[in-house]
């Protein structure tokens, strides 16, 4: 039946008569006029607009009014806006926000810096919660001006979620000012099409990301609130790093002292705190495999502990990076190569994050490039958030991870076993898996003792019809002999050497 009609009943839908007025079928009573009594101005006005998200005294201009607090103080210097700011010290502040839309994305923006301290190498630390859930942390030692571009995203469960900011370090503490609650996501990183990236013609090849060697000039610190420090070692936040967005804290650029492997600058992912940068590449082959490569080495200062960072691709951790004191820039830079998978829309959102929260220096990076091709299985595992081990089976279904890659199955879903029918067995095979050297070996038996490969005439398989090929998705159909009374089959995974 079409249009939702019920069998055996004549359907008489509502229609519009020749005068353009909604008509009612015979036997239906028109809605009572009392339900249609809205005036024309009321109809035109529509529903009232929701209140903008916000709170009480978010700039601390009225002291601590509106806040529940402990161990904090309002100060007149330094300030980012107005005449007051908050010295968080070792304390906390909290209040119920207002006007939020439950279930929708919001973000908190605020200005902050560390309080003055004789121990200028120490960082101030704070944690931000909404309804008890951590939405972000601050780890920074900047004192010459406020950081403002950083934001923290959250999704409230109610219109009045509880915001709490709590210190994680009593001394030195942080100075906070000018809190803002805004609807929607944080600003997106810059994006560039794959076709516009610079093609590199040296032995390494690939295409360089926009400002992938960090040689583009940045604004004069005296003229930009997002750049601080001297021009020989600028500390950068927000959108002041050409081609990138600084998505957390700030980063800094280091010149010849770091021995740049390309050009005159390298990126230190810790400026005054654990920074992060992001850039998006579009126009890639949907679901295609690419390899991101870069040089990296440990900062020579800041003790001798290993320094760490992580690389994300489309929101998934693609690599955890470590450099020890024996791998600092005086010992030379190593080349890292990380296989990644473009999204179904042909997009790669790349983000590099420091994971060192107590230092003003971390791993130094240079010369980011992207090349087509690479380890398709490892790239697929990153995109699927699973272990790149063909024998692993975290979801405990009938298919190990290598089979799921070959068959195009989701490793996070328990997939049923393939079932044969009298005609045989039809299996989907991925072209990129075949191209990399993954394949399927089918064996059959009649007695559970003698297993015979499917290609053997004695196996009971009379034909193998295969529309798949390296680089091309398709199916493989194993057709059974029609006179076989009983066959048992099993898979064996062939992996690259």
Say how many residues make up the chain: 497
Distance CA 208, CA 212 (A): 6
Topology, domain 401-494: Immunoglobulin-like (2.60.40)
pTM of the model: 0.85
- Would you place residue 423 in the very low, low, confident or very high pLDDT band (cuts 50, 70, 90)? confident
Residue 30 has pLDDT above 90, yes or no: no
Topology agreement, domain 68-183 and domain 191-382: yes
CATH architecture of the domain with residue range 68-183: Sandwich (2.60)
Residue 18 has pLDDT above 70, yes or no: no
pLDDT per residue over 114-144, tens digit each?
999 888 899 999 999 999 999 999 999 999 8
3-state DSSP call for residue 189?
coil
Domain ranges of the chain: 68-183, 191-382, 401-494
Residue 328 DSSP one-character state: B
Q: Could you tell me whether strands 276-282 and 191-193 are parallel, antiparallel, or unpaired per DSSP bridges?
A: parallel
pLDDT per residue over 269-297, tens digit each?
999 999 999 999 999 999 999 999 999 99
Residue 17 has pLDDT above 90, yes or no: no
Backbone conformation region of residue 57, classed left if phi is above 0, alpha if psi is from -120 to 50, else beta: left
Residue 27 has pLDDT above 50, yes or no: no
Pick the CATH number of 191-382 from 2.70.70.10, 2.160.10.10, 3.40.1390.10, 2.60.120.260: 2.60.120.260
- What confidence score (pLDDT) does residue 49 get? 55
Distance CA 44, CA 59 (A): 37
Contact 59, 37 (CB under 8 A): no
242: preceding bond cis by omega (within 30 degrees) = no
3-state DSSP call for residue 106?
strand
Distance CA 193, CA 374 (A): 20
Residue 460 tokens read as 């009971």
pLDDT per residue over 216-271, tens digit each?
999 998 889 999 988 889 999 999 999 999 999 999 999 999 999 999 999 999 99
Spatial neighbors of 19 by CB under 8 A, at least 6 apart, are none
pLDDT per residue over 464-490, tens digit each?
999 999 999 999 999 999 888 888 999
- Would you place residue 46 in the very low, low, confident or very high pLDDT band (cuts 50, 70, 90)? low
> What number is the average pLDDT over the span 339-350?
98
Residue 174 has pLDDT above 50, yes or no: yes
3-state DSSP call for residue 407?
helix
> What number is the average pLDDT over the span 305-325?
98
């Amino acid at each position: 039946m079409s249009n939702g009609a019920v069998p055996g009943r004549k359907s008489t839908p509502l229609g519009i008569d020749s005068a353009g007025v909604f008509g009612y079928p015979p036997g239906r009573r028109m809605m009572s006029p009392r339900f249609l009594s809205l005036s024309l101005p009321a109809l035109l006005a529509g529903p009232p607009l929701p209140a903008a998200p916000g709170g009480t005294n978010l700039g601390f201009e009225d002291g601590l009014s509106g806040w529940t607090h402990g161990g904090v103080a309002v100060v007149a210097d330094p300030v980012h806006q107005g005449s007051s700011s908050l010295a968080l010290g070792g304390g906390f502040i909290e209040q119920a926000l207002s006007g939020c839309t439950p279930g929708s994305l919001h973000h908190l923006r605020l200005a902050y810096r560390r309080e003055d301290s004789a121990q200028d190498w120490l960082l101030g630390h704070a944690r931000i919660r909404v309804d008890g859930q951590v939405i972000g942390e601050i780890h920074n030692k900047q004192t010459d001006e406020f950081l403002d571009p950083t934001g923290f995203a959250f999704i409230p469960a109610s219109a009045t979620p509880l915001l709490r900011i709590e210190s994680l370090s009593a001394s030195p503490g942080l100075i906070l000012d000018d809190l803002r609650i805004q609807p929607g996501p944080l600003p997106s990183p810059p994006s560039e099409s794959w076709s516009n990236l610079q093609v590199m013609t040296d032995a390494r090849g690939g295409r360089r990301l926009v400002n992938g060697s960090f040689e583009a000039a940045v604004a004069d610190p005296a003229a930009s609130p997002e750049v601080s420090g001297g021009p020989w070692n600028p500390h950068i936040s927000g959108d002041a790093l050409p081609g990138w967005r600084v998505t957390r804290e700030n980063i800094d650029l280091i010149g010849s002292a770091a021995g740049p492997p390309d050009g005159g600058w390298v990126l230190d992912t810790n400026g005054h705190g654990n920074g992060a940068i992001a850039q998006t590449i579009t126009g890639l082959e949907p679901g295609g495999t690419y390899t991101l490569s870069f040089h990296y080495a440990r900062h020579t200062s800041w003790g001798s502990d290993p320094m760490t960072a992580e690389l994300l691709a489309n929101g998934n951790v693609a690599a955890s990076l470590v450099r020890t004191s024996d791998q600092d820039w005086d010992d030379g830079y190593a080349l890292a190569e990380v296989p990644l998978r473009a999204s179904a829309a042909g997009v790669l959102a790349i983000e590099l994050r420091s994971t060192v929260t107590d230092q003003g220096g971390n791993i130094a990076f240079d010369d980011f490039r992207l090349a087509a091709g690479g380890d398709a299985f490892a790239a697929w595992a990153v995109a699927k958030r699973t272990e790149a081990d063909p024998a692993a089976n975290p979801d405990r279904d009938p298919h190990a991870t290598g089979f799921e890659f070959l068959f195009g199955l989701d490793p996070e879903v328990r997939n049923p076993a393939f079932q044969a029918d009298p005609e045989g067995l039809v299996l989907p095979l991925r072209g990129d898996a075949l191209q990399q050297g993954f394949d399927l070996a089918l064996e059959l038996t009649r007695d559970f003792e003698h297993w015979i490969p499917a290609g053997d005439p004695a196996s009971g398989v009379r034909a193998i019809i295969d529309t798949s090929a390296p680089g091309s998705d398709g199916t493989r159909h194993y057709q059974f002999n029609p006179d076989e009374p009983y066959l048992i089959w099993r898979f064996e995974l062939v992996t690259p050497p």
